[in-house]
Each structure stands twice: as C-alpha cells, then as structure tokens.
Homo-oligomer: A and B are copies of this chain.
Amino acid sequence: MKKTTITLSLIATLTMSVSASGGLMDKAKKAGLQPIPEDKTALFKLTDNPKNPVTDKKVELGKKLYFDPRLSKSGLISCNTCHNLATGGVDGVGPATGHMWRHNPHHLNSPTVYNAVFAKRQFWDGRSPDVEDQAQGPMQASPEMAATKEHVEKVVRSMPEYVKEFQEAYNDPKFVPTFKDVADVIGDFERTLVTPSRYDDYLNGNENALSKEEKEGLKVFIDKGCASCHNGVALGGSMQPFPVAKPYKYANVGDFKGDKNGMVKVPTLRNILETRPYFHNGAVWSIEEAIKIMGETQLGTTISDEEAMKIKAFFGALTGKKPYVRYPMLPASNDKTPKPNLK
C-alpha cells in the first residue's frame, strides 16, 4: 500500500514537472538560448568555415600542431599548454603564463577552447573574428609561445611528415605551408571541439534531460536576466559593455579595459564548472561568488545565495561530452629543425 502511494505521488510530481518545464523550454528559447544541434549536418553547417573548410585531414593535422610545443620559441609551449583539453580547455591559473614564465601583461585569463567556434568574436577584447585568426595570436605573443611566423614555418617545413600531410590535406603536391596555413588547420581542429551536454538534449526536446533542480536553476538564470548576455549556442561569445551597473569588484587585478568602446567578450558558460578561475582576469575561484558578482555588476540586481546555488545546479548540466582525442605522435625533429631557445 505504502509503495503504491509513493509511486502515485512520484507520477504526479513527474507530470507536474513535465508540464511546468514545457513552459520553461519555450521560455528558454524565447530568451535566445540555443542548443548544439543533434543533427550532424546542421552542426557541421554551424561549425564549418567556408573560407577554411573543415576536412578530416586538416583536422588531424591541426590536432598535431595544436599539441606541438615546437611551434613555440622555447619548444616547451603548445596551444594545449594554456588551452588544455584535459582540463576543460583551460590552464586553471589566474593569468595566462607562457614563455619564460611571463604572465599576460593585463592579467588576462586563458578562455576555454571548447566551443570557441560558437563565439562571435575571439579574445577578451573581441579583436579577432574567428578561431583561425585567433590561433595566430598566441603563437607570436611574447608572454605566450613567443615565436615568429618564420620560426613556425621553419619548424613545420623542416619535417617531411608535416609537409606531406599539408600537401595531402590541400591536395597539392607542391604545397609549402605558411604560418597562416598552420593557424588555419589548428582552427579546423578547434572547430571540432564542441561539447554537447544534457542542456542541449533538453533544448533539443528531451524534457527529462534536466533534473528538477537544474530546471529551477535555468528558470532563475532566465528570470534574473543572465540570458541577456549569455545566450545563443555559445551561451556567450558576443561583445557587451562591462561593467554596467556597478564597478567590478576585482577591477584592481590587471588593467584590462575591454575594446576601444569598453566592450568585453562574454565568456561561454559551457563547461563553466570545469574552467576556474573566472572572469577576464581570473580573479574569482568560486562559481557562486562569480554568479553574484555578475548580478551586481551587470544586471544591477542581487542574486541570493539560494538563487546562486540553483544557477550553479543548472551549470552542472552545461558540462558537455568531450570529443575523443587520440594523443598524437608527432614527427621527429631533425638537423633542419630550428633549435629551441629558452631565452
């Protein structure tokens, strides 16, 4: 008898939950939240770059170069050093730290590479339009990989295996890879780094993909206005004024002021529970604190501890499935390969 009661009660709860969240799903869509498409063709359309078409060969080659520390001046730092695929696509430290242990001069934090393809702009000041263009930056930045274009080209051209892979990828037996080509195939690889999550399953129509707590969190997230910036497939990725309502609490960490109009790129919230520390200057380690600061700074509203906990629960559903990455075995350097320079 008791068992039956519990079962009936459970069914009642589930039914309520379903009808309530049916409204929530519409609400989420109206707020501009969009899923990663389930359909592979639709996803490819969203992630491909007609100017730099994604092909299997370019992705595989780009993966090798993404992991190759020899592209850096020291030979020690690869794209993956700061955008580590093992740890949410980030380095987990405050300021990005690179060549000679130099920190980013503005104390800027490395954003995640996962789902970067969905962002409208790249870099915290949005100066770059896409991942291919972005990839050219860190290779040359003196506190990051500190290489020159010539260094990168010499390294890649010194290894016949790389040259052959470029020639095959571009279907041209005389192809000589340039710095831009290196960034392009790295960009192709990055375009595959998307992480569908239960949140996407939900927006794609699966009512049961989110728990009751996560749905409550999503509702608070929308009601508080978070989705006014964190929207689209990227849950961010556009340029927005910052700060809006109140000064940023940790503005003293670094001297970053955004682009020339004071606009700052909204970071994606996908995998946010894996990408501490938070904000452009990596000043905040607690997601609850980050949520509350955003309420004050951007929305001019107070987010209570309870509401922050609910939003955090929702964020749990944004942790996505990472693509399968076979760790690449790279071609051996040889007498023609520039020697690393640790200074």
Contact = CB atoms under 8 A, between A and B. Distances in A.
Contacts of A273: 332
Given A68-B86, A322-B329, A327-B326, A75 B92 contact: yes
Given A329-B322, A340-B92, A335 B87 contact: no
A276 interface: yes
Contact of A274 (B68, B70, B332): B332
Interface in A48-73: 67-70
A285 interface: yes
Contacts of A70: 87, 92
Nearest to A92: B75
B325 A326 contact: yes
A326 B326 CA distance: 4
A87 B101 contact: no
A86 B324 contact: no
Nearest to A341: B93
Contacts of A326: 324-327
A157 B111 CA distance: 26
Contacts of A92: 69-70, 75, 333, 340
B85 A327 contact: yes
A93 B342 contact: yes
A100 B85 CA distance: 23
Q: Chain A interface secondary structure, helix, strand, loop or mixed? A: loop
B76 A335 contact: no
Interface string A296-333: 00000000000000000000000100101111111011
Interface in A282-302: 285-286
Interface in A83-103: 84-88, 91-95, 97, 100-101, 103
A69 B97 contact: no
A249 interface: no
Contacts of A101: 100-101, 342
Nearest to A102: B101
Q: Which of A101, A324, A328 has the most CB of B within 10 A?
A: A101
A52 to B, nearest CB: 24
A81 interface: yes
Nearest to A101: B101
Nearest to A340: B93
Nearest to A285: B339
Contacts of A340: 92-94
A220 to B, nearest CB: 21
Contacts of A81: 76
B93 A76 contact: yes
Contacts of A276: 333
Contacts of A93: 74-76, 340, 342
A194 to B, nearest CB: 14
Nearest 9 CB-CB pairings of A with B: A101-B101, A325-B327, A274-B332, A327-B327, A86-B330, A93-B340, A322-B329, A75-B92, A100-B101
Given A68-B87, A87-B332, A87-B333, 15 more contacts: A74-B93, A74-B97, A75-B91, A76-B93, A85-B327, A86-B329, A86-B330, A87-B330, A88-B332, A92-B340, A94-B340, A95-B342, A273-B332, A285-B335, A327-B327
